[in-house]
Amino acid sequence: MNKTYMPRRNISSNLYLSFSRDEWAKRRGNLNITLSESDIKGILALNDKITASEIQDFYFPITRLLQLSINNNINLYRERNDFMGIKPRKMPFIIGVTGSVAVGKSTTSRLLKTLLERINPDLRIYIVSTDNFLKSNARLMEENIMERKGFPESYETQDLINFLVDIKSGVARTQIPVYSHLKYDILPEKQDLVDPDILILEGLNILQVKNPGKKDEIYVSDFLDFSIFIDAKVEYIKEWFVERFFLLMETAFKDKDSYFKKYSELTKEEARELSSKIWDNINGKNYSENIVKTRYRAELIIEKGKTHNIENIMMKKL
């Protein structure tokens, strides 16, 4: 008789270990990296918040865990090459950082890059956003999906996968498109990546397994050596999105070349109404339909509280 398996109700407790701040801070070992106030200020995004003590308690242990994974990956790759009798070549380590819009992906990516560079000063570490692989505005309008920018179908997914194939194949120099948040579009120029050792891939879609229109079941996540999902209660993320909109009204939106210049003169009431509407109809919808569903595909989950503070770390059991 075939046994019927019932789905487990509590995925997190079965798949993950959960750590409070005090518990996680103990895992930093002897890692000791000094970051100045200027360093931290340069890492932060507009309305993100982080303190030196939070970096030590949360990000030092994360960095130590990443370094262990990098070292183990190098050793395993060397031994596999010996086993197969092939000449070794560089195999870049790819770290994926994902989560909702406005949750702090860029800040986390820059911070991890800085910390890993302090440990590995001779390694070339790059950050690449999947925004660089969005379809151009002209293409989005042609396909009538301009209002779905950030949804799975708005990306040149095959181009992103081809790029990752090149990275993992040890191609010494690759070029990728450049996305401008100021102009809200893909630019004519290209970004060069030369002989990377570590790549931090940051974006909404890196753990999604939908590849619209493609028969080959190859996904972005297949190329990730370690993945991090940053999350918070959806009401917090929405408020951070609205806060960021207000800050952009006073900064980038005022630029004469900004795609959103028309929003710089909105009243506070108009700005809150519009940003809330954008969240509800686009970013919040994408989060609930596509992004949060990938949460339990990540090796590490960072859970944030109302003031951007990290409250909990969840690490997948090995």
Residues whose CB is less than 8 angstroms from the CB of residue 266 and which lie 6 or more positions away in sequence, other chains included: 249, 274
Report which secondary-structure segment, H or E, holds 191: strand 185-194
Secondary structure (DSSP) of 105-149: HHHHHHHHHHHHHHH-TTS-EEEEEGGGGBPPHHHHHHTT-GGGT
d(CA 86, CA 315): 34
Mean pLDDT computed over 142-167: 96
- Residue 38, burial from CB neighbour count under 10 angstroms (0-12, 13-18, 19+): exposed
What is the length of the chain? 318
Question: Three-class SS of residue 200?
Answer: strand
Answer yes or no: are the C-beta atoms of 113 and 123 closer than 8 Å.
no
pLDDT at residue 32 in the model: 84
First-last CA distance in the chain: 31
| Residue in the block written with tokens 């075939």 | 2
Q: What is the pLDDT of residues 77-110, one digit of tens each?
A: 888 888 988 887 788 999 999 999 999 999 999 9
Q: What is the pLDDT of residues 29-61, one digit of tens each?
A: 998 898 999 999 899 877 788 999 999 999 999
Mean pLDDT computed over 231-258: 95
- Residue 263, burial from CB neighbour count under 10 angstroms (0-12, 13-18, 19+): middle
d(CA 98, CA 205): 7
d(CA 31, CA 185): 40
Higher per-residue confidence, 273 vs 7: 273
pLDDT at residue 10 in the model: 66
pTM of the model: 0.93
pLDDT at residue 1 in the model: 46
Residue 9 has pLDDT above 90, yes or no: no
CA distances from 29 to 59, 106, 252 (A): 12, 26, 41
Higher per-residue confidence, 48 vs 19: 19
Percent of residues, the chain, with pLDDT higher than 90: 81
Higher per-residue confidence, 91 vs 316: 316
Q: What is the pLDDT of residues 159-178, one digit of tens each?
A: 999 999 999 998 999 999 99
Q: Which amino acid is at 185?
A: D
Percent of residues, the chain, with pLDDT higher than 70: 94
Residues whose CB is less than 8 angstroms from the CB of residue 9 and which lie 6 or more positions away in sequence, other chains included: none
Q: What is the pLDDT of residues 166-221, one digit of tens each?
A: 999 989 999 999 999 999 999 999 999 999 999 999 999 999 986 555 566 889 99
d(CA 97, CA 108): 8
